[in-house]
Structure 1
Amino acid sequence: MKITSGWLTAIALLLSIHLYGQDITENKFGKGIINTIASDSSYSVKMNVRMQSLFTTNWGITEEDGFGDSESAFLIRRARLKFGGFAYSPRLEYKIELGLSNRDISGASPFTSDAPRYILDAVVKWNFYKNFELWAGQTKLPGNRERIISSGSLETVDRSLVNSRFNIDRDLGLQLHHETSLGGDFIMREALSVAQGEGRNITTGNLGGYQYTARLEFLPFGDFADYAGADFAREEEPKLAVGVSYDFNDDAVKTRSNMGSYMITDDGFFQTDITTFFLDAIFKYEGISALAEFAHRDAGEILAMNSDNSLTGAAVNAGSGFNVQAGYLFPSNYQVLGRYTNIDLDDTVTQAVENQYTLGLSKYISKHNLKVQADLSYLNMNLGLEDDLMFRMQLELQL
């Protein structure tokens, strides 16, 4: 058989990859593509990649017609690069997280210099004295528990409607974190934050006032072996964490405090003080995990108005939400979970009330680093509005 030069080149390339592409790393699956410390211990670098591939199907439901036509979609829900480590001293840590999917980088506007919002986190954490840490940069504010837990470490396909309606997400500013022992195993954690108040990747400066956040968290039975979703550690003793957060955004110009859309008027921006309150708890014991969360948002003025007192059509997302969920992780690393969520916005915004019931099933192949999750959710609406049935399946991979 005659072998052309093209085939010889291809074979040589494959052989070179086989012979010289066998670099061995001491890293383990899920522990980072790069995980190294400088020879003089002056810095460290850890690089992770993660992705979520999501399939969703929805059916509208009405009393008259029953199930409507389904709407289905495939989506790269998240695709991210994460870098972290320490610089100069282990007491000075850093974290950079970049979003690459369309959902991650969406939101380009004049307020972000019309640029995609690639940066999720860019923060330095300085352990300057005992248990005190000063954070500077862009990162998650110390708000609701669902948001604080990474989206890659959830025991559900995604966070609840309470988070999507009321969370305060990421912002730019300073945070002070501290941990205190109250005797025995009892731990108290405190966090204070001063932020710009308009969300992440903003380049136009502060348009309203600043945003102030405080959080207290109590762990009466000591720290968790695994703080994220699902009880992989199968805690031998009950573990409980109760947290409360309060957020005040002075002269906020967006509909969801530092989230949502800008409230633009005929002569600039509508400004109003917005407060958000969170109360949450998480419990784990012998494979059982449970989470409860309550959120409430209020504002000095809920309906945005022009200079002549006419309505602009924008409104602060004021109201309350409640979420409770519980699951059990079997020794086979299958987990079943149930969730109930209620959203009741202020009547000046809408009189519609949402009640969502979710049943979830997860298979953890390598904990949260490689997992397949599915859920079925029924959304019930009052006022004769159309209900919704939603099925989701998601593959998560983290290196």
Structure 2
Amino acid sequence: MTKTKIDLQMPFKYFLIGITLLFITVAHSQDITPKFGEGMLRLVSKDSSWSVRFAPRIQFRALSNWDYENDKFGKPEHSFLIRRARLKFDGFAYSPKLRYKIELGLSNQDISRASDFTGNAPNIIFDAVIMWNFYENFELWAGQAKLPGNRERVISSANLQLIDRSILNSTFNIDRDLGIQLRHHFNISEKIIIREMLAFSQGEGRNIITGNLGGNQYTSRVEILPLGEFTKKGDYIGGDIYREKSPKLAIGATFDLNQDAVKTRSNMGNYMENDIGFHETTISTVFVDAMFKYNGFSFMGEYSYRDATDPIAKNSDGSTTGEEVYTGQGFNFQGGYMFKTNWEIAARFSSILPETRFLANDTRTQYTLGGSKYIVGHKLKVQSDLSYATNGGESDSIEFRIGFDLHF
């Protein structure tokens, strides 16, 4: 098993090294020197029939954890982590109306969760999607990409206000999948903007090669921006780093239906295997969220709710397998203030409340206080936060994190 894994990884290593050297060589020969934060390399063909931008990024992190029980702290645990190391490519092909995006993950956490369902190969591909603006404000996506789920998940991990996403997101998000998406937007007035998004996907998550084990996944999302567009798409960027000169507000709602799902968290989580194959149940997930920004102040709120027709996984004789769909609800509220010195303070409150039988004591609440120094916006920053979490029937815990982002 180990040998097979090594053999599968080697072609990827050579491919990535070769691509990187090729781009560096081409960039040097063309004397291309883009500004920091706009990609390490940006190329456009002489006849303007294609373009490519190459942008690597790194997230380094140091963590310390203390369990708190019996009115005292336990022995601390410390670790260092390359949380993310990724290569991003984007541009257009044939026409500016036909765009593409590729994102590859290299860190251990990026490529983890290899299984029979992914061909036991490193889970490297995050995004591989083509986006075609085929008519006016309509755009068709095809490939693997984030589904139009909760706002916090769609915000890139490179653009987060705190050092990582909330426990609501880790529990309820619907992440990436393979399929097609249709996106559209229109203006009701000079300022009021409406966006609509529809997705039809496999429902199994990213990089699955075994096909569709259950039904399909259907996702719809509507957003309204009643006060006009945010600066540089700031409704999907953490913190008010552009210090909006007038109030900006975005409100969104998502409904996701995964028909005959076989995983515990819609298209994520564990497979619910039983004695005849897989336990199947239809899972519905709802998200409601909002983002507000003005003059350095920012606020984001999210609510999630998940339900399933038959959440407890069973064998053919009715006995339980020990797996179940994580149903219940979650809340996440966070806000911050960006000083003119590009320092920001931020705070977050998150809570998840399960409804299913085996998870009745898994109610979790987390309080987080953080600070960030933006050297070149989100492209180069140092962040730190301190969190206190109550973990249902388990001991409470305190976590301290500090790290940096470097994003070309």
Shorter-normalised TM range: over 0.9
Partner residue in 2 for 1:137 = 143
Is residue 282 from structure 1 mapped to residue 291 from structure 2 by the alignment?
yes
Q: Which one-letter code corresponds to 2:290 in the other structure?
A: A
The structure 2 residue matched to 1:176, chosen from 171, 179, 182, is 182
Partner residue in 2 for 1:395 = 404
Structure 1 length normalisation: TM-score? 0.93
Partner residue in 2 for 1:245 = 254
- Equivalent runs, 1:36-115 vs 2, <5 Å: 36-62=43-69, 64-115=70-121
Is residue 148 from structure 1 mapped to residue 154 from structure 2 by the alignment?
yes
Structure 2 length normalisation: TM-score? 0.91
Partner residue in 1 for 2:369 = 359
Q: Is the 8 A contact 2:372 2:382 kept in 1?
A: yes
The structure 1 residue matched to 2:391, chosen from 381, 385, 396, is 381
Q: Which one-letter code corresponds to 1:241 in the other structure?
A: A
- Equivalent runs, 1:160-171 vs 2, <5 Å: 160-171=166-177
Q: 1: CA distance between counterparts of 2:195 and 2:30?
A: 43
For the residue of structure 1 that corresponds to 2:101, the secondary structure is strand
Q: Is the 8 A contact 1:318 1:349 kept in 2?
A: no
Q: Is the 8 A contact 1:281 1:291 kept in 2?
A: yes
The structure 1 residue matched to 2:199, chosen from 193, 198, 220, is 193
Q: Which one-letter code corresponds to 1:276 in the other structure?
A: T
Q: Is the 8 A contact 2:327 2:356 kept in 1?
A: no
Partner residue in 1 for 2:16 = none
Higher alpha-carbon deviation: 373-382 or 40-49? 373-382
- Equivalent runs, 1:14-53 vs 2, <5 Å: 24-53=31-60
Q: Is the 8 A contact 2:239 2:297 kept in 1?
A: yes
The structure 2 residue matched to 1:263, chosen from 269, 272, 284, is 272
Partner residue in 1 for 2:129 = 123
For the residue of structure 1 that corresponds to 2:169, the secondary structure is helix
Alpha-carbon spacing, 1:23–1:214, altered in 2? closer, same or farther (3 Å): closer
Give CA deviations for 1:74-133 in whole Å, capped at 9, x if unaligned.
110000000000000000000000000010011111100111111000000000000000
Q: Percent same amino acid among aligned pairs?
A: 54
Q: Is the 8 A contact 1:169 1:199 kept in 2?
A: yes
Q: Is the 8 A contact 2:33 2:41 kept in 1?
A: no
Is residue 372 from structure 1 mapped to residue 375 from structure 2 by the alignment?
no
CA offset at residue 394 of structure 1?
Answer: 1.2
Q: Is the 8 A contact 2:215 2:260 kept in 1?
A: yes
CA offset at residue 275 of structure 1?
Answer: 0.3
Q: 2: CA distance between counterparts of 1:56 and 1:23?
A: 42
CA offset at residue 41 of structure 1?
Answer: 0.3
For the residue of structure 1 that corresponds to 2:76, the secondary structure is strand
Q: 1: CA distance between counterparts of 2:68 and 2:145?
A: 39
Q: 2: CA distance between counterparts of 1:388 and 1:135?
A: 42
How many equivalent pairs are there? Answer: 377
Q: 2: CA distance between counterparts of 1:141 and 1:154?
A: 18
CA offset at residue 355 of structure 1?
Answer: 1.2
For the residue of structure 1 that corresponds to 2:170, the secondary structure is helix
Alpha-carbon spacing, 1:23–1:57, altered in 2? closer, same or farther (3 Å): farther
CA offset at residue 25 of structure 1?
Answer: 3.3
Q: Which one-letter code corresponds to 2:119 in the other structure?
A: S
CA offset at residue 26 of structure 1?
Answer: 2.9
Q: 2: CA distance between counterparts of 1:276 and 1:40?
A: 46
Give CA deviations for 1:234-276 in whole Å, capped at 9, x if unaligned.
1111000000000000000000000001000011000000000
CA offset at residue 380 of structure 1?
Answer: 1.7
Q: Is the 8 A contact 2:381 2:404 kept in 1?
A: yes
Q: Which one-letter code corresponds to 1:339 in the other structure?
A: R
CA offset at residue 180 of structure 1?
Answer: 1.0
Q: 2: CA distance between counterparts of 1:261 and 1:147?
A: 20
Q: 1: CA distance between counterparts of 2:370 and 2:354?
A: 26
Q: 1: CA distance between counterparts of 2:174 and 2:29?
A: 45
Larger radius of gyration: 1
Q: Which has the higher helix share?
A: 2
Q: 1: CA distance between counterparts of 2:32 and 2:43?
A: 10
Q: 1: CA distance between counterparts of 2:249 and 2:184?
A: 19
Q: Is the 8 A contact 1:302 1:348 kept in 2?
A: no
The structure 2 residue matched to 1:340, chosen from 344, 349, 368, is 349
Q: 2: CA distance between counterparts of 1:235 and 1:395?
A: 25
The runs of 5 or more residues in structure 1 that have no matched partner are 1-20
Q: 2: CA distance between counterparts of 1:52 and 1:233?
A: 22
Give CA deviations for 1:15-45 in whole Å, capped at 9, x if unaligned.
xxxxxx8995330111111111100000000
Q: Which one-letter code corresponds to 1:375 in the other structure?
A: D
For the residue of structure 2 that corresponds to 1:162, the secondary structure is helix
For the residue of structure 2 that corresponds to 1:209, the secondary structure is coil
Q: 2: CA distance between counterparts of 1:109 and 1:59?
A: 32
Q: Is the 8 A contact 2:32 2:42 kept in 1?
A: no
Give CA deviations for 1:189-243 in whole Å, capped at 9, x if unaligned.
0000000000000000000000000000000001100411111221111000000
Q: Which one-letter code corresponds to 1:195 in the other structure?
A: S
Q: Is the 8 A contact 1:248 1:275 kept in 2?
A: yes
For the residue of structure 2 that corresponds to 1:172, the secondary structure is strand
The runs of 5 or more residues in structure 2 that have no matched partner are 1-27
